[in-house]
Amino acid sequence: MKNNIQTIGIISDIHGNYVALEAVLEYMSRQHVDQLYFLGDYITDGPKPQRTLALLREAAQHFSAFFIRGNREQYMLDHAKYPEQVWNPGPAQGSLLYTYQRLTAQDLAWFRSMPICHSFEDMILCHGSPSKINELLNVDGTNSAADEVTLKWLHQIQKPLLICGHTHRQGISSRDGRTILGAGSIGLPHNHDSLSRAALLRQNRSGKWQTELLSIPYDVDAIVEAYHHSELMEMAPGWSHANCRFLATGHNYILRLIKRTCLLAAAQYPKTDFALPEIPTSLWLQAAEELDLFSN
């Protein structure tokens, strides 16, 4: 890492929320960051994926930027490679299909060029973990199920700092002089409010990185309105309504929708082990009704 880099902005898990991305990029510009590191999950779930990708390409022209591939970009690449695995409109796959239909060959090539992990002189960047793009780490103390794997990486990493996304939570875990930084999500932050989350690294006089966890306001109503003026609500009913509630509250209504839908499926079909896309749409919509999601 070059010695003249003094401030780094960390952005992760945009999920097509271009309104939040614009606000965070403006904030980073005011902070005069020397570099921006993007940790993946740029698209899916939000409307107008091309607008999000255009902002990312513009950021790469104005900043020194580095991009990591997230699991959502990997979904798009896998679907392009295996088109026989059909995605259908509906709560489980409609958002993925909506996004895929709006991507270009150039977009997919860009995703393909992104590494899933990258090591600098004094830090490692990844989306989930250095070895698994969708592995969850316990960055804020709320996911005790991930404690073992988190401790494993704190023990294994050969750099003082591991920076990740994926959990949509913001936090720091440290042990024996090594730190895992969860940057949080700017697009669908799981922090019980409607503020976007990102992080800054500032280099102090001794050359060590000091972390600043950011909470950045943006126009939530504007992105929710964009949902309702897109085809996304019809292609992914229930799911997109849950995302709008997630945006407004910071509570993970997608997870609540999935859990309720699975409970309904288990009750109605006790001898059937459904994969999520196989659960009848009627049960997804019933779960969404029970969670009062259609009042968005």
For 128-185, the pLDDT digits (tens) are: 999 999 999 999 999 999 999 999 999 999 899 999 999 999 999 998 889 999 999 9
4 has pLDDT over 90 = no
Q: What is the mean pLDDT of residues 268-285?
A: 95
For tokens 């990486």, what's the residue? 153
Q: How far is CA 251 from the centre of its chain?
A: 14
Return the domain boundaries, the chain: 7-216, 229-290
What's the mean per-residue pLDDT of the chain? Answer: 95
Residue range 7-216, CATH number: 3.60.21.10
d(CA 190, CA 105): 32
Model pTM above 0.75: yes
- Within the chain, strands assigned E span 7-11, 35-38, 64-67, 117-119, 124-126, 161-164, 170-175, 178-183, 196-203, 209-216
Amino acid at 89: P
The average pLDDT across 62-87 equals 96
Tokens of 163: 């920076």
Q: What is the pLDDT of residues 7-55, one digit of tens each?
A: 999 999 999 999 999 999 999 999 999 999 999 999 999 999 999 999 9
282-294: buried (b, 16+ CB within 10 Å) or exposed (e) per residue? ebbbbbbeebebe
Q: What is the pLDDT of residues 204-239, one digit of tens each?
A: 888 889 999 999 999 999 999 999 999 999 999 999
pLDDT at 1: 47
CA gap 95, 85 in Å, rounded: 15
Dist CA 144 CA 194 (whole Å):
25
pLDDT for position 176: 86
Q: What is the pLDDT of residue 296?
A: 64
The pLDDT score that the predictor gives to residue 207 is 82
Cα 286 to Cα 277: distance, rounded to the nearest angstrom: 15
